[in-house]
Structure 1
Amino acid sequence: MSPFQMGDVSESLEDGASKDDVAALLLESIDRIRSLKAQLKEKGGTGRVAIVGAACRFPGAETLDELWDILCAGRTSIRYPPEGRWNGSGAEQGTNRDLLAGGFLDNLEFFDSAFFGIAPADAGRMDPRQRILLESVWSALEDAGVPPSTLQGSKTGVYIGLAGQAGPSLSQAKIGGAVDLASALGSGAAGRVAYTFGLRGPTLTVDTACSSSLVALHLATQGLILGECDLAIVAGINLLQSAAETIAAAEAGLISSTGACHPFGADADGFVRGEGCGVVVLRRESDVGRSGSRRATVRGSALNHNGRAAGLTAPSGIAQEQVIRAALERAGANPAEVTFVEAHGTGTPLGDALEAQALSRTYGAARREALPLAASKAFFGHLELASGMLSLLKAILVLRRGLLPANGTYAVRSDLSWRDLHLLPVTEPIHLSASAGGATHLAAISAFGGTGTNAHVLIEGESQCDSANDNGIWPFFLSGKTQSALRNALRRLSRWLKERPEGEISLRDLAYTLHSGRDHFAHRAAVVAGSTAQCAQLLASLAEGASADDATQWVMAEAASAEQSESLGRETRLMGLARQYCEGKMPKWSGMIDEDQKDNARLISIPTYPFERTSCSPMSGRCIMLHPLTHRAGLRDGQSTYHSTFDGSETFFSEHRVLGHSILPGVAYIEMLRAAVTSGQFQPVRISNLVWLRPTVPGDLTLTFSPLEGAKVFATAGDAAGDTIFAQAVVQQASIHEPVATDLRAIFGRCGREVSVEDVYAGFSGSGVSYGPSFRTLTALRGGIDEALGLLERRSGPRGEELLFDPGVLDGALQAAAGIEGANGRDWQSLSEGRLPFALSEAQLLSPLPDRCWSWVRRVSGSDTLDVDVLDEEGRPCVRLRGLAFRLMQRKVAQETDK
C-alpha cells in the first residue's frame, strides 16, 4: 500500500464510512508520515558533520604538530614586521614601533608554482593569500586522505573567510587580463581554489570581519546537511600587507601599545594583529566510512548580529548570549556538557568583560565547576578573518591530546569575579579527565566580527580507536612531481616515524593511507617493511640513495632478510607490487591483503606533500620551467594555454635535423600534450586525430586547449593564435584497463632476419634525416614479413628524468619500421625514404617508458600505415600507436623552415 494514498479519506466518506473509520484512517496516515520522516532522517544521517582533514600555516607553525608545540611551550610568535614587508609605504614612519608588532608569516613571495602548473609570471601577480590557500588546501585534502585528483568535477564546496582586496589593485591588474583580475578581487580566492581543483560545488568568499572563518564553517555545514555539496573545504586566511590598516586600528584604540596581547589579562590594553591560514575538510558524518579519517565532529553552530547595539563596531553581550544558546540548541547539548570554551578573547578590556559575562550567563550558571576559559591570541596575535580557524584547530588538538595548554604567562584581570562567573582562565595546563562511559569531550568556540556578526560552534572530540600495530610486512608507496620532492617526502616521513614509539602507528593504516589517500606522481619509491623502525630506516636510506631505482632494489633485498618478514609467498608478492608501483603501475589495495586478513585499514594523519617553493616575486627574475616541452601555463579568452620558447639548443631540436634544419620530431608532441593535460604527473592519456601540418622549428610555440571543440588542442607559433598551425589533436585523460602482456618470444620467432642498425642510420642520413646520440636509441633490430621488432635503449639527456615518454625513444620506436620486409621482398625503409610522419589515428599512453624497451611495428594490411607498440621487457605495452601515416618530405620542409 502506498504511504500517501490521499484519496482514501474522500473515498471512505463517499462509501458511507463512519466517523470512527475515518478517524482510524487519519491516525494510520499520521503513523505513515511519522514512519517516512524517520526513514528520511535515517537516510540523511544525524545532521552532524565530521571534520576529516586539516592543515595550517601560522607564524612559526606550518603543521598542526608545530602549532601544538608552540601552544604547549607557551612560545610567542609575535615580533616586529619582517624586513622589507612594508618598504616604500611610508605609513609606518614616526609610528610607535610596538604598535606595528604582530604575528607575521615569512617568505610570502615563495610558492611552488610548478606543482600547480602556474606560470611564474602569473604566480608573481597573484594575491599571496591565494598562493598560500592552494598549498594549504592540498595539504588538508591529503590529511583527510582524499586524493585531490579524485575531486575533479565533484560536488565539493569551497567556503573561505577572507577580506577584500589585499593583492594587486584593479589598476595594477589591468595589464594581465583574467588571471590578474582574479587576484585583484576578494571573490577570486574561492574561485581560484575551485578552478585549480576542478570543483563544482558552492564556492564563496565570506567577509564578516573577525568571525569570517566560523561563519564560513557554519555555511559549509549547512551546505552539507542540505545536500548542496558532498565535501566541503573551509578556510580562513589573513595577511597584513599594509601598515596603514594597523595604524588606523591603533588610532581607534584597538591595538596594544606594548606589542603584546593578553586575553582576559590584567595588563590587557588591546590586541596585536596576526597572519595565518587554516583549512579544514568536512563531510557529512553519515558519509564517513569505516576507513575514513576523522578529527572531530561539528555538533552545532549558529550565527546572529548585534543589531542596533551601542555602535556598529561595539560588541553586544546580549547578542553573544543569544548566539551561544542557539548553537547549544542546534547541537542538542546541555551547557554543563561543554568541557572548555575557546574564547574570542581579543585582549581589549571592554570586549573581554562583555564576553566573560555572556559566557557566564550561558555556561557558568549551569555548572558546579568553573568552565575553563581558553584563548590563543597571546601566541599569534589576532588573526582577524582567520582567528576562528586558529581557535577551531587548537580545539581539535586539545580534544585529541587531552590537554588544554595555558593561555600565557601573564596575570589575569582582578576586576572580574571569576568565582562568581564560574569561569576559569587557563593559567596552567589542564588535563582533560576521562569521560564517564566512554563519552567524548565537547568544546565551544566563539568568534565575533567587528561589524556585528557573531558565530559560535560546538565540536565533539573523537574517541580513540584501537589500531594496534600489525605484525607482518607491508608495502609503503611514496611519490613526487620531481625527484627532489620525492627525496624530501621520504626524509619527512622517516623523521616523523622516528619520533614515534614502536607500536603507536599501525603499519597497515600507514600503508593504506600512502596507497589510497594520496595522488601518485611520476617519481616514485617503495619500501617493504615489517616495523616502524625498519620502515623509517629504509625510507632514510632511499632518500640518500644514488637513484630511486637502485635504492628500491636494495630496499627490497633488505626487507627480504628481515626477521619480521612473514611467509615468503606474501613477501615476494609485496615486493612485486612495490616494483610495479615504481615502474608506473598502481597496484590495487586488495592485492596486499591476504585471504586470512581482515581489510579493516583506516586513513590516518601523516606528513603531507613537501612543496618546493621558490620566489615568484616579480623582482626575483626567476623563471621556473614547468616541463622541458611546456614551459609556462596561462589563460587566454577562457582557454588554457601552454607557452614554450625554444632556442634550438635543446637536444630534441639540435639532434634531430631534417634536410639540414633543426626540426622538432613529431612524436615530441605526444609527450608535450601528455605533460599539459596531466600537469606533469603520470596518468593514462589518449590522444586521437593527431595531425602534423607543418614542421616545427625553434621559436615560440603555444598549445591552446579549445573547450568549444571537446578536448581539441592547437599548436601555433608565438604567444597568440594565428594562421600558422603546426599540429592539432584531441587529447584527454583516459581510464585504461591493465593491458595484457604481448608474447615477445613469438614475435622474436617470426622476425628471424637480423638488420644492421648502422646500416639503418646510414640510410636515414642518406635520405636527409640526421640523428644525434639522443635519437640513436635503436640498438638492435629484427625484421619479418610486415612486422619488425627493435630493442630501444634510452640515452639520458638534460632534464631527461622529466620526459616520461622521451621523444628520442618514441622516435626510435618508429625507426624500427626499417626492419619490415614486404611480401614482395621490398623492405619498409626503401619504401619510406623521404617520408615523415603526417597523421596518427590514436596514441594510448599506458605507463612511463622504461630505459630499456621493445618496439613492435606492424604494417596495417592493405595500406602504408603502421601500428606500433612500445613494450617493456615483460611484454607489457607502455605506448600504443595506431594508424601512423606518412607523407613525402619533397623539398617542402626546406621551404617551410625558411619562412
Structure 2
Amino acid sequence: MTTAIARDTDHIVIAGMAVEAPGGVDSPTSYWSALAASEELIGPLPRDRGWPLEELLSTYQIEGWSEVRDAGGFLDAAAQFDPAFFGIGQREALATDPQQRVALRVAWRALENAGINPGALEGEDVGCFIGCSPMEYGPRCAEVNEYSGNRVIGFGLSAAGRVSHSLGLIGPTMCVDSACASSLTALHLAAAAVREGDCEWALAGAVSVMGSPAAFFEFSKHNALSTDGHCRAYADNATGTLWGEGAGMVVVEHESRARRLGHRVYGRILGSHTNHNGKGRPILVPRTEAQERMIRKTIDKSGIDPADVKMIEGHGTATRAGDPIELTALQNTYGATGSRPLLGSVKSNVGHAQAAAGMLGLIKLLLAGRHGRIPATLHSENPTTRVDWDRSSLRLATELQPWEPTNDVRYGAVSSFGASGSNAHAIIAMPVTEENADF
C-alpha cells in the first residue's frame, strides 16, 4: 500500500505546547501529574462572576427541567491578567472577553515551550488558529456604557486576531467555532495551512472560559447534565455531562524545521479530518455513520494500519445518547482490528471544556505518548451496557498502565464532536526517542 507517510516524509509536527486546566493546572508538567495520579479537578461553581446562583441551583423546581449541581471544572486564574505585558490598556482589558486574555497567556507559554522567543516574532509569516465559542461576557454592545468602543474587538471570537496582533504575526489568522469540535478543527486548519505553504509555521489552540452560566441553563432544560457532579464518561451510571473550562495551544511546523532549530517533536500529525452529520435528526443528536466515516478518512490519510493505534482519547461527554453512538463508531473502526486499543476521556478529570475540550484531549495524548503511559479514565469501572463490548477489542483505560510502542513509535487518536453537528478526528505519532525529555 502506498501510504501518506511515503508520499510526505517531512511531517507536520507539534513542537511546543501549553495548557491551563481546572485545579490550578498551568503547565504540561502539572497537567500530567494530575492525569497520572487520576485526580478529579472539579470544584464548586465560581462565586466571583456575578452569576445568579440561587436561580441556577433551583432550576429543578421548574417542570421539565433538571437539577444543576454546584460543580464544574473552572480555571483558577481565569480573571488574572497583566494587560501591560501584552500592550493593552486597563479599560480595554476589562472589556475584553477573558477567553482572549487566557489565549494570549497560553500562546506565549507554548512558544517558550518550543524554544521560540515570543517577543521576536513581529512580521513573521506565522498563522494563528484558535477554537473558541461565544460565552456572553460583559455588558451589551447595544447600549451606552463606560466600555463602549472597546467591545467591538472584545468578544471571544477575536481571540486569534488578538494573539496575532500582540505578537506581530502576519500569517493567516482565524477563530474557529464548530462548538465542541473547535479544537481539532483549528488543529486541522493549522496543519493544512503549514502543509500548503500558506504560512511557515502556526499556532493552533482553543480556549473556553465561561463568562456566563448559559450552558448550565440550556442543558438543564435538555435534562443532559450530570446529576451527581461527576463526568462519568462511557460509564453505565453516567447521567449527563459536567461543564468545564480550559485552554491549550500547540506550535505546528514541518519536522525538518523543528529538527533544524532544535525544537521538541511531541508528535507527528499523520492525518486529520472534519465533517458534519448532515440533516435528518435533531442538530444536537450525534450520528454513528458520520463519525465512522470521518475516522475511516483520517485513517486513510494517515497511511497507517489502524491496529497500530493503541490509545484513543475520545469525546466521552457522559451523555446517554452521545457515548453509545461514539463507542459504536470506534468499535466499527479501531475496535475491529483485534489490537485492543484503550479508550479514555479527560472530561472525567476536568469536565467538558466545550470549545477547548479537544485540545485538552490532544495534549493529554501527547503527554501520554511522551511518558509511555496511558492514564485512567475516572468512573469507568462499570462500562455502559448500551453497547456490546464483546463484539470488538476496544476497551476502557481503567488504570494507569504502560503504553508499548510499535517500531519505536506510539500511535494515538483523538476525537471531538460539536453540538452544531461538526466532527473532528486526528491521528498522532509520537516517536519514542522524544519521551521523558524535560518540558
TM more than 0.5:
yes
- 3-state SS of paired residue (2:84): coil
Cα distance, 1:173–1:424 mapped onto 2, change above 3 Å: farther
Query: Any idea what the Cα deviations from partners look like across 1:489-516, whole Å, max 9, x if unmatched?
Result: xxxxxxxxxxxxxxx9xxxxxxxxxxxx
The amino acid of 1:187's aligned partner reads: L
Q: Give the conservation status (yes or no) of the 8 Å contact 1:143–1:605.
A: no
Query: Any idea what the Cα deviations from partners look like across 1:447-500, whole Å, max 9, x if unmatched?
Result: 01111111010001123259xxxxxxxxxxxxxxxxxxxxxxxxxxxxxxxxxx
Q: Give the conservation status (yes or no) of the 8 Å contact 1:151–1:198.
A: yes
The alpha-carbon deviation at position 107 of structure 1 amounts to 3.9
The amino acid of 2:84's aligned partner reads: A
The amino acid of 1:319's aligned partner reads: A
Q: Percent identity?
A: 34
- Equivalents in 2 of 1:309, 1:47: separation in Å? 41
Gaps of 5+ in 1: 1-40, 467-503, 505-603, 607-899
> Superposition pairs for residues 714-725 of structure 1, below 5 Å?
none
User: Higher relative contact order at CA 8 Å, sep ≥6: structure 1 or structure 2?
Assistant: 2
- Equivalents in 1 of 2:285, 2:136: separation in Å? 25
- Equivalents in 1 of 2:55, 2:18: separation in Å? 34
- Equivalents in 1 of 2:214, 2:150: separation in Å? 27
Q: Give the conservation status (yes or no) of the 8 Å contact 2:15–2:253.
A: yes
- Equivalents in 2 of 1:282, 1:410: separation in Å? 33
Q: Which residue pairs with 2:427 in the alignment?
A: 458
- 3-state SS of paired residue (2:32): helix
Cα distance, 1:199–1:256 mapped onto 2, change above 3 Å: same
From 175, 178, 182, the counterpart of 2:153: 182
- 3-state SS of paired residue (1:297): strand
The alpha-carbon deviation at position 405 of structure 1 amounts to 1.2
- Equivalents in 2 of 1:75, 1:173: separation in Å? 46
Q: Give the conservation status (yes or no) of the 8 Å contact 1:122–1:179.
A: yes
Cα distance, 1:202–1:605 mapped onto 2, change above 3 Å: farther
- Equivalents in 1 of 2:254, 2:143: separation in Å? 42
- Equivalents in 2 of 1:173, 1:292: separation in Å? 49
Coordinate RMSD, CA, aligned: 2.2
Query: Any idea what the Cα deviations from partners look like across 1:158-197, whole Å, max 9, x if unmatched?
Result: 10100125333323686546543210x3432111111100
> Superposition pairs for residues 836-847 of structure 1, below 5 Å?
none
The alpha-carbon deviation at position 95 of structure 1 amounts to 3.3
From 157, 160, 167, the counterpart of 2:130: 160
Query: Any idea what the Cα deviations from partners look like across 1:43-86, whole Å, max 9, x if unmatched?
Result: x9536211010001100211111111111111111122122333
Cα distance, 1:298–1:465 mapped onto 2, change above 3 Å: closer
The amino acid of 2:122's aligned partner reads: Q
- 3-state SS of paired residue (1:224): helix
Query: Any idea what the Cα deviations from partners look like across 1:92-136, whole Å, max 9, x if unmatched?
Result: 252357534210112432212222222222222211111111111
> Superposition pairs for residues 313-328 of structure 1, below 5 Å?
313-328=284-299
The alpha-carbon deviation at position 409 of structure 1 amounts to 4.0
> Superposition pairs for residues 388-407 of structure 1, below 5 Å?
388-407=358-377
- Equivalents in 2 of 1:137, 1:217: separation in Å? 14
Cα distance, 1:52–1:107 mapped onto 2, change above 3 Å: closer
Q: Which residue pairs with 1:111 in the alignment?
A: 81
Q: Give the conservation status (yes or no) of the 8 Å contact 1:99–1:250.
A: no
- 3-state SS of paired residue (2:259): coil
From 275, 281, 292, the counterpart of 2:245: 275
Q: Give the conservation status (yes or no) of the 8 Å contact 2:376–2:397.
A: yes
User: Does structure 1 residue 310 correspond to structure 2 residue 281?
Assistant: yes
Q: Give the conservation status (yes or no) of the 8 Å contact 1:174–1:180.
A: no
> Superposition pairs for residues 744-893 of structure 1, below 5 Å?
none
The alpha-carbon deviation at position 349 of structure 1 amounts to 1.7
User: Does structure 1 residue 196 correspond to structure 2 residue 145?
Assistant: no
Cα distance, 1:318–1:365 mapped onto 2, change above 3 Å: same
Q: Which residue pairs with 1:127 in the alignment?
A: 97
Q: Which residue pairs with 1:64 in the alignment?
A: 28
User: Does structure 1 residue 343 correspond to structure 2 residue 314?
Assistant: yes
Q: Give the conservation status (yes or no) of the 8 Å contact 1:214–1:457.
A: yes
The alpha-carbon deviation at position 157 of structure 1 amounts to 0.6
> Superposition pairs for residues 470-489 of structure 1, below 5 Å?
none
- 3-state SS of paired residue (2:321): helix
The alpha-carbon deviation at position 417 of structure 1 amounts to 2.7
Q: Which residue pairs with 2:333 in the alignment?
A: 362
Cα distance, 1:154–1:414 mapped onto 2, change above 3 Å: closer
- Equivalents in 2 of 1:465, 1:109: separation in Å? 35
- Equivalents in 1 of 2:232, 2:433: separation in Å? 34
The amino acid of 1:194's aligned partner reads: S
Cα distance, 1:161–1:234 mapped onto 2, change above 3 Å: same
Q: Give the conservation status (yes or no) of the 8 Å contact 2:135–2:209.
A: no
Q: Give the conservation status (yes or no) of the 8 Å contact 2:99–2:156.
A: no
From 113, 127, 150, the counterpart of 2:120: 150
The alpha-carbon deviation at position 419 of structure 1 amounts to 2.6
TM-score between both structures, scaled by the size of structure 1: 0.46
- Equivalents in 1 of 2:33, 2:58: separation in Å? 36
User: Does structure 1 residue 48 correspond to structure 2 residue 11?
Assistant: yes
- Equivalents in 1 of 2:346, 2:434: separation in Å? 28
- Equivalents in 1 of 2:327, 2:238: separation in Å? 14
- Equivalents in 2 of 1:47, 1:309: separation in Å? 41
User: Does structure 1 residue 254 correspond to structure 2 residue 224?
Assistant: yes
Q: Which residue pairs with 2:142 in the alignment?
A: 171
- Equivalents in 2 of 1:87, 1:165: separation in Å? 13
The alpha-carbon deviation at position 257 of structure 1 amounts to 1.3
> Superposition pairs for residues 669-748 of structure 1, below 5 Å?
none
Q: Give the conservation status (yes or no) of the 8 Å contact 2:274–2:422.
A: yes
Please say which structure displays the higher CA radius of gyration.
Answer: 1
- Equivalents in 2 of 1:47, 1:359: separation in Å? 29
Q: Which residue pairs with 1:292 in the alignment?
A: 263
- Equivalents in 1 of 2:144, 2:135: separation in Å? 12
- Equivalents in 2 of 1:361, 1:448: separation in Å? 17
Cα distance, 1:47–1:314 mapped onto 2, change above 3 Å: farther
Q: Give the conservation status (yes or no) of the 8 Å contact 2:277–2:421.
A: yes
Cα distance, 1:133–1:173 mapped onto 2, change above 3 Å: farther
Q: Give the conservation status (yes or no) of the 8 Å contact 2:358–2:416.
A: yes
> Superposition pairs for residues 425-440 of structure 1, below 5 Å?
425-436=396-407, 439-440=408-409
- 3-state SS of paired residue (1:52): strand
Query: Any idea what the Cα deviations from partners look like across 1:265-309, whole Å, max 9, x if unmatched?
Result: 121011100011111111022322342222111111001111124
Query: Any idea what the Cα deviations from partners look like across 1:671-700, whole Å, max 9, x if unmatched?
Result: xxxxxxxxxxxxxxxxxxxxxxxxxxxxxx
User: Does structure 1 residue 75 correspond to structure 2 residue 39?
Assistant: yes
- Equivalents in 1 of 2:428, 2:169: separation in Å? 27
Q: Give the conservation status (yes or no) of the 8 Å contact 1:256–1:271.
A: yes
TM-score between both structures, scaled by the size of structure 2: 0.91
- Equivalents in 2 of 1:413, 1:45: separation in Å? 40
- Equivalents in 2 of 1:294, 1:177: separation in Å? 44
Q: Which residue pairs with 2:205 in the alignment?
A: 235
The alpha-carbon deviation at position 410 of structure 1 amounts to 4.3
User: Does structure 1 residue 263 correspond to structure 2 residue 228?
Assistant: no
The amino acid of 2:350's aligned partner reads: F
- Equivalents in 2 of 1:215, 1:175: separation in Å? 36
Q: Which residue pairs with 2:64 in the alignment?
A: none
Aligned residue pair count: 425
- Equivalents in 1 of 2:16, 2:413: separation in Å? 19
- Equivalents in 1 of 2:78, 2:417: separation in Å? 27
Q: Which residue pairs with 1:480 in the alignment?
A: none
- Equivalents in 1 of 2:389, 2:107: separation in Å? 40
- Equivalents in 2 of 1:199, 1:174: separation in Å? 32
Q: Give the conservation status (yes or no) of the 8 Å contact 2:160–2:173.
A: yes
Q: Give the conservation status (yes or no) of the 8 Å contact 1:89–1:242.
A: no
